[in-house]
Chain A
Amino acid sequence: MGDGSVAVDEVRPVMDSSTMEAVLWRDVWGAFQPVTSAGQRWKRAVQPWVSGQEDAWCAALRQLEEDAQVISDADLRTLREQLSRMPDLANTLCDLVAPAFVLQPKHALWLKQCAWLGGALAEHPAVQRMHSLTGIPWKQLLEMMGEATSPAFAVDHVGGAVYHRAVQALTEAVSDVAACLRARDAAWMETVGRRPTRDGQIILSLPMEAPLANALKQRADVRWVRDTPFESVFEVLSDDRLQAALQRKDAAQAELDACVAAVMRRLTDTVRRTAPQWQRAVDELCELDVRLAKVELLRRWAGCVPQAGEAVQMEGAIHPAIADALGRRGRAFTPLSWTLAPGVGVLCGSNMGGKTVAMATLCVCQLLAQFALPVPARRFQTMLVRCVRFCGDAETDARRGLSAFGGEVLRWMELWDVLQAAEPVLVCFDEPGKSTNPAEGEALTVGWVRCLVRLAGSGVAVMATHFAAPLREPMVQKFRVSGLSSRRLSASSKPNPPGARTEHEVATDDRLAQLEGAMHYRIESLGEGDVPREAVWVAEWLGAPELLLREARGFLERRVES
């Protein structure tokens, strides 16, 4: 597993919070679901593999590949259902370190359930095919908790001779008391025709039984408690034999309580001596849980096991969180394919053409791969990087006195730091420079492209932009999203009449759906081309005012002429 062996770089983590938020990482990560408490803790603590750890990473990927081959869907369901019943032993094993700690029956039950479950799972053919849970003395651990035939725990199971003698003594003492009570009751029945209640009381109805009540008040073996207008109540006093039997019972109970405490102390010592074995058992069950959770994710996403390579190759990839959101609205995510060699890539294309989603999907697939998790793609090949960063929209922060552009520049500085210090990285810029004037925005974007060519090294930098100049830069890979199909768009219906948003019969939502239907989200390599010009068309389709559109088109025509 890619886990504790990887040091956490808190200064420059593999992903930062801005990236996590921009690519919807939490939603994606939530889909990975170990079922045991230990597995969930593992998930919270796990760090992704990073460059330099390729051997271990490839081994983890191979293991996922092999696990996926040997586990059927039915096995997966059965094993995960069984594992979900695994108790959480973390605190119990931790508490054992304290010399004064004594196991309580609850702890003993959990330990036994763990040994029982581990033993049963170890014998499952699928687990054996996975070569998991080997080398743990499950039987020995189970027998340590007594009665290896059931997962239940009782002090009886581990009591020993002294304990069982104490139980026997108590049982006999209780029998003696019962015999004394029966004899007492029989005597009362014989003498006064009335048996005492379970509380040892004789209750006589008044006035019918007043003579008997008066007679009882004279007797020494009964204590008059009270008279009410309706009843006379007496407490039957214990005779010497009953008194002695009760004392023997109390003494036997005390003796048994002491025995139980001694048995639990002895059991605690035994478990404490074997704590490393118990810890290993818990760790192995946790590892099995995590491996199964990975396979479950692979099946749920109909995904693939990532492969190691020199370039990033993504085929038929989806972003699970966005795909789910689209699915809820009755729409489908168009799977993405994209090949990026190390270096810089520039991505252009229509508004609403999916540039941001493509880059977010790329980041998500890369991050999943670095955790040696399945990727929601038909095929995904990549190399390990040191950091993954996404630089998206910056918002105005009035409290800090930052304009959107100010916020963007601050984010640039963070990324600059990362690019200087860590190598290789995967970094995605979503339309840099769009928050300032276009001339300077374009200049800054070109500046970034030139710097990235120098800084990207063996990593990958991708930039989505509407500016034309970056596409003319040398040594960059150029891509475009395919964009709108005029045939598909005109086939669906006519655009909204300009300025008719409030009165038009077709809802904007329907227009958006038609626009999505006409959009090709495919990513294509771009030769010597220019930036696609579809923004005015999209605006018209969505019902922008006619005057606005006319002015915009006029301006474009005059610029071309000049």
Chain B
Amino acid sequence: MDLVGRCQAEGWNRIAFVGATKHAGKTTALNHLVAEAHAKGVAVGLCSIGLDGERLDTILGVEKPAVHAPEGAIVASAERALAESTAGLEWLEVLPLASPLGAVAVCRVTRAGSVVLAGVRQRAHLRIVLPRLETYGARLQLVDGAFDRIAAAAPALVDAVVLAVGAVAGRTVDAILRHARPFIQRFLLPTVPGDLRNRLAMAQQRQVVGWVDGTDVHVIEPSGTLAGVPHHAWTPDVEAVYLPGAVTDSLVSGLLAHGRPLTVVAAHPAQVLLSESSYRKLLQAGHCLCVWETLPILAVAANPHSIEGYDVPRQALLDGLSAWLGDVPVFDPLHPDGICTQAGASRCEKMP
């Protein structure tokens, strides 16, 4: 499977890398895609998002996988982080983004080497950074997400995600898959059906909570939570609710007792922060969960080695993920030849 080719075929130019856990292998996956793009002559743009302890660790000398930037890559990073890079850099622009590591600058790599990516801390920053990377010629823009930061995985910011699943999440393949399930599941949620989409459009456009009650549509401020929404007083006719903010366990628990099947609509996958048990309870209550806008998965990177010193069977992990993910490529970046697709998944374990 050719990941860069898949991006080109689908028209995806902005890719976020998100890890299910710390040390899941997202930077390794990023390096894999960078190398593949370079080999195909596709210029990449690189940045990271998040107040990332891992990157600070890098600067403080703790060993982390470096991002290897080939000649011609465009990088956006903070001054002090750039000073730690071994790549030769041509400074193109200093962006109006301050960080504890200095201002964020955009540079072109003139001599291949490692780069440290830091300084971009918020989605609003990404909205500034990504167009600049593109302006300077990066056809494929890659965003390395910090641990537990799914901020970049928003459809308004990127076109697709690479999800990293690592053995650090569990000592068996089953345990890893169980942990990965809610993390990945949110990207597989269906989009809201057309009729409900039309009726909830006003709430979505205004980014406020809205619900469909028979033929009526109601909206309420503030956006983001159900706080203040009189869902206890809803009539049984309420059939769908749009939630612009995070969909959490506590929020969903308030909806379980609703008297008829309810369609809960999240804005996009990154806003779904449900545990597997809450998701299960929601479904058991006859409700369903969908998203207003989905975000495609470019690939899932599987890392069978844990930094705690143990390994799980590589092929079993790849097969287990593949069986569940269908056409989505699953691969181990350190063994790129072993990219596993559904076709190769005959020996896969069942998902727990």
Interface residues, chain A, CB within 8 Å of chain B? 87, 104-106, 108-110, 152-157, 167, 170-171, 197-199, 203, 205, 226, 228, 230-231, 233, 253
Contacts and interface: CB of A to CB of B under 8 A. Distances in A.
Given A157-B90, A203-B335, 9 more contacts: A87-B94, A108-B91, A152-B108, A154-B89, A171-B111, A198-B334, A199-B334, A230-B312, A230-B313
A106 B90 contact: no
B99 to A, nearest CB: 13
Contact of B105 (A109, A199, A253): A109
Contact of A230 (B91, B314, B334): B314
A197 B86 contact: no
15 contacts: A104-B83, A106-B105, A109-B91, A109-B105, A152-B90, A152-B91, A154-B89, A156-B90, A157-B90, A197-B335, A203-B335, A226-B309, A230-B312, A233-B311, A253-B86
Contacts of A157: 90
Interface string B103-115: 1010010110000
Interface of B: 79, 82-83, 86, 88-94, 102-103, 105, 108, 110-111, 304-305, 309-315, 334-335
B311 A110 contact: no
Contacts of A87: 94
Contacts of A205: 313-315
Contact of B88 (A153, A156, A199): A156
A228 B311 contact: yes
A154 B88 CA distance: 8
Nearest to A260: B88
Nearest to B88: A156
Contacts of A171: 111
Contacts, number: 65
A209 B91 CA distance: 49
Is chain A's interface secondary structure helix, strand, loop, or mixed overall? mixed
Given A197-B335, A228-B311, A106 B92 contact: no
A175 B297 CA distance: 36
Closest 8 CB pairs of A and B: A154-B90, A228-B311, A230-B313, A109-B91, A153-B91, A105-B91, A152-B92, A231-B311
Nearest to A109: B91
A102 B92 CA distance: 20
Contacts of B110: 154, 156
Contacts of B304: 230-231
Given A156-B110, A171-B111, A230 B90 contact: no
B89 A105 contact: yes
B74 to A, nearest CB: 11
Contacts of B86: 253
B312 A153 contact: no
A153 B106 CA distance: 11
Contacts of A199: 334
- A109, A167, A253 — which one has the most chain B CB atoms within 10 A of its CB? A109
Nearest to B316: A230
